[in-house]
Structure 1
Amino acid sequence: MRARMSAQTAVTAAMTAGVLAWAAPAQASTVVLSQGHVDAVDVAFKNGALKISVHDETIYPDVERNPADVVFVVKPAAAMTVPDDPRYGFLGPPGATVHILPEVQDENLLWPGLATEEVAAGTFGGDSVQIRVTRVIGPDGFSLFTTDPVGAPNVLVDSEDGLPDAITRPVGSHLHANWAFEKAGTYHIKVEATGILSTTGKRVTSEPAWLTFQVQS
C-alpha cells in the first residue's frame, strides 16, 4: 500500500479501429468502480519503460489494475448545471446538464486522480513527464479542468477543441481535477505517458491505455 498525502455524430472507420484497439476485457474480469479514491492514470517507470495502470484505493489493501479491466462509473448525483459564466463555455451552454467528478472529494462519488508518484526524481528531464489524452470516443465532449481559489477554470483537456492535449506533471506528484462529461453514455479515453530520459536524451512513451467511463443519467 502506498502512503497518500491526504462528438461525434458518426463513427468513422478510424474510430472503429480505435475501439477495437481498446480491447475490452471479458465480462468476468471487469472491475466496476463508482465511489472512493482511485488514480485513474497512475504513471510508473520500471525496467526502462513507462507504464500506465489504475491505482485502486477503493479497497484495502489498495491494488494496481490494468485499465482494460476497469469501468469507472459516473453516478447520476454527478449531474449539475453549466453556470452562466463565459469562462465555463467549454462545458456547453449555460443551463445545460454536465456530469462532473469533482476535484474536491465527494464521498458519494468516484474521486479519480493523476499520479506520477512511482517515477523517481532524476529519471526524466525537468523532473517531469507528460500525460497525453490523444483520443476521446463518446456521445459528447469530455474535459478535464482545475478550479482556482476564486472560481476560474484552468482547462487541461478539452476533446472538442482538438486533441492531443498534454498535461505536464512533476515526478513524484499527485493531482486531482474535475472530470466533465457533457452527456450521459459511455466514453473511451485514450491516454499515454511520455518523457525525455535524463541520461540519454531519448524520449520514451508508454503503451496507450484506454479508460472507460460510464456516465449515468
Structure 2
Amino acid sequence: MKTMAAALTAATLAFAPAPQPDDLGQTLDPDQSVAAGRAVLETGHVDIGPRYRDGAWTIQIHDDTVAPSVWRKPSDAVLRVRDAAVERVPDDPAYAFLGQPAGTPVHVVPQTQNQDVVWIGWNTQDPGVMRAISRGVTMNLLGVQGPGDLVVYVQSGNLGAPQVLWNSTMPFPQPLWVETNTHTHANWIFSKPGVYLVAVEIRADLVDGQQVSGRDVLRIAVGDSSPVEDAFTATYTASLPSTDATATAGAAPPADGGGSARPGVIVPLLVAAAAVLAAALIWMLVRGARARRRALAPEEKP
C-alpha cells in the first residue's frame, strides 16, 4: 500500500497540468464494424462519438482496446475504472471545483494516458459524420445517476487553469461544442466508487439543413468492488431535460474555437445592455443640465 507521502506525490503528478499527448491524431476506417455482445473496457483507449450510417445518427463507443478497432453500442459496453485510478485531491485551491477536501481519495481517468486505467475520450471522426456535417456537434450532458459526483475538465500546458466541461452538481443540460474531426481526452473525476449511468446527447446540423440528434447512457463501473453486472443491468430513471434551447446555443463554436460551448447570445446582450446604460446616463446628464439652467435663470416678474 502506498504511504501517505507517496500517495500525495502520485496525486500531485496525476492532477498536474500536462500537454496533450502526440498520439491524438487518428483516422478512422470507414469500414469498421459494430461488435456484438457485451464487453468490459478497463484498460486502453476508447472514445465516445456520433456515427452516421444509412440516415441513422447514433452514439457509439469506439473501442481501440482490440485489433482491429470496433464500434460498440453503449448498452453493450461497461467502462470499468479500476482502483489503479485512485488518487488524492491535491491541497491546491485550483481544484476547489471538485468539491472535495484536500486528501480525499477519488478515481481519476486522466487526460494523458495511464496504461493501467481505461482512457476515455470523444471524437467526431466517423467518416459518415464528417461527410454529413460541416462545423461540429453539441455534446450535452443530460444527467448523472450514481453514488457520487462526476466532474470532467481539461487543462493545457503547465500554466493553464482547469476548464470544467461537465459537472454533475450543476443544472442540466450542460452543452459542449466539439468541432468536426476532433479527437479529445479529458480528466474524469469520480468522487465515490460504484455504478454511474451518464446520460448524454449528441446533436448536429447536417449540410443538407436537417438537424439530427441521438441520446444514450454510458455505463461506468468505478472501483474494483463495483459489480460489472450491475452496470450492465442498471436503468437510468431520472427525467431528462429538454435541449432545444441549448442545441441552438451550442450550434456555433465559441470565439476561441474550443472548450465548452458559450451561447452566442451572451455578447450581443452585453452590448445591448451597455448601450441602454449609456443612453440612460446621457439622458440623466441632459436632464440635469436643463434643471441647472432653469435654476440659474433670472425669475420672470409678473
Question: TM over 0.5: same fold?
Answer: yes
Instruction: Tell me, yes or no, if structure 1 residue 5 matches structure 2 residue 22.
Output: no
Provide the rounded CA distance (Å) in 2 between the counterparts of 1:199 and 1:63. Answer: 28
Q: Report SS of the residue matched to 2:124.
A: strand
Cα deviations across residues 146-183 of structure 1 (Å, max 9, x unaligned)? 11212521111001011211111111111111111011
Match of 1:30 among 38, 42, 47: 38
Instruction: Tell me, yes or no, if structure 1 residue 53 matches structure 2 residue 60.
Output: yes
Residue in structure 1 matched with residue 146 of structure 2 by the alignment: 138
Provide the rounded CA distance (Å) in 2 between the counterparts of 1:46 and 1:130. Answer: 19
Instruction: Tell me, yes or no, if structure 1 residue 77 matches structure 2 residue 93.
Output: no
Shift of 1:56: 0.8
Residue in structure 1 matched with residue 246 of structure 2 by the alignment: none
Cα deviations across residues 17-46 of structure 1 (Å, max 9, x unaligned)? xxxxxxxxxxx943111101111x121223
Q: Does the 8 Å CA contact 2:85/2:116 hold for their aligned counterparts? A: no
Match of 2:175 among 166, 174, 178: 166
Q: Report SS of the residue matched to 1:120.
A: helix
Aligned sequence identity (%): 35
Provide the rounded CA distance (Å) in 2 between the counterparts of 1:112 and 1:209. Answer: 16
Q: Does the 8 Å CA contact 1:50/1:193 hold for their aligned counterparts? A: no
Instruction: Tell me, yes or no, if structure 1 residue 212 matches structure 2 residue 211.
Output: no
Higher relative contact order (CA 8 A, sep 6+): 1
Residue in structure 2 matched with residue 98 of structure 1 by the alignment: 106
Structure ranking higher in strand proportion = 1
Alignment of 1:186-197 (within 5 A): 186-197=195-206
Residue in structure 2 matched with residue 116 of structure 1 by the alignment: 124
Q: Report SS of the residue matched to 2:95.
A: helix
RMSD value, Cα: 2.0
Q: Does the 8 Å CA contact 2:24/2:184 hold for their aligned counterparts? A: no
Provide the rounded CA distance (Å) in 2 between the counterparts of 1:75 and 1:139. Answer: 16
- Consecutive unaligned residues of structure 2, counting only runs of 5 or more, are 1-22, 27-35, 225-302
Q: Report SS of the residue matched to 1:77.
A: helix
Provide the rounded CA distance (Å) in 2 between the counterparts of 1:167 and 1:46. Answer: 23
Match of 2:72 among 52, 60, 65: 65
Q: Report SS of the residue matched to 1:72.
A: strand
What letter matches 1:5 in structure 2? G
Q: TM-score, normalised by structure 1?
A: 0.81
What letter matches 1:95 in structure 2? G
Structure ranking higher in helix proportion = 2
Provide the rounded CA distance (Å) in 2 between the counterparts of 1:45 and 1:167. Answer: 19
Larger radius of gyration: 2
Residue in structure 1 matched with residue 5 of structure 2 by the alignment: none
What letter matches 1:156 in structure 2? L
Q: Report SS of the residue matched to 1:189.
A: strand
- Consecutive unaligned residues of structure 1, counting only runs of 5 or more, are 7-27
Shift of 1:79: 0.9
Shift of 1:216: 0.6
Cα deviations across residues 83-108 of structure 1 (Å, max 9, x unaligned)? 22223122222221111110101111
Q: Report SS of the residue matched to 1:103.
A: coil
Match of 2:165 among 134, 156, 163: 156
Q: How many positions carry a matched residue from both structures?
A: 189
Q: Report SS of the residue matched to 2:125.
A: strand
Provide the rounded CA distance (Å) in 2 between the counterparts of 1:50 and 1:102. Answer: 29
Q: Does the 8 Å CA contact 1:132/1:191 hold for their aligned counterparts? A: yes
